[in-house]
Amino acid sequence: MAVDFSCADVDAWKEALSSYSGKLRSLSEATSKPDLIVLDDFYRNELPGILSCRNPNPHLTRSELVQIMRWKLSRGKWRPRLMDFVSNLDEDLVESSSSKAFQSLPDVSKAVSELTVLKGVGPATASAVLAAYAPHVAPFMSDEAMEAALGHSKDYSLKQYLLFVEKLQKKAKELSSNSENQEFTPSDVERAIWSSSIDAKLKQSPTDVVRKSNTGQNPKKKRKR
Query: How would residue 216 be classed by pLDDT, with cut points 50, 70 and 90?
Result: very low
pTM: 0.90
Query: How would residue 221 be classed by pLDDT, with cut points 50, 70 and 90?
Result: very low
Residue 2: predicted pLDDT: 66
- Number of residues that make up the chain: 225
Residue 200: predicted pLDDT: 75
Per-state percent for the chain, helix, strand, coil, to nearest 5: 65, 0, 35
pLDDT in tens, 147-196: 999 998 789 999 999 999 999 999 999 999 999 889 999 999 999 999 99
How many other C-beta atoms are found inside a 10 Å radius of the C-beta of residue 96? 15
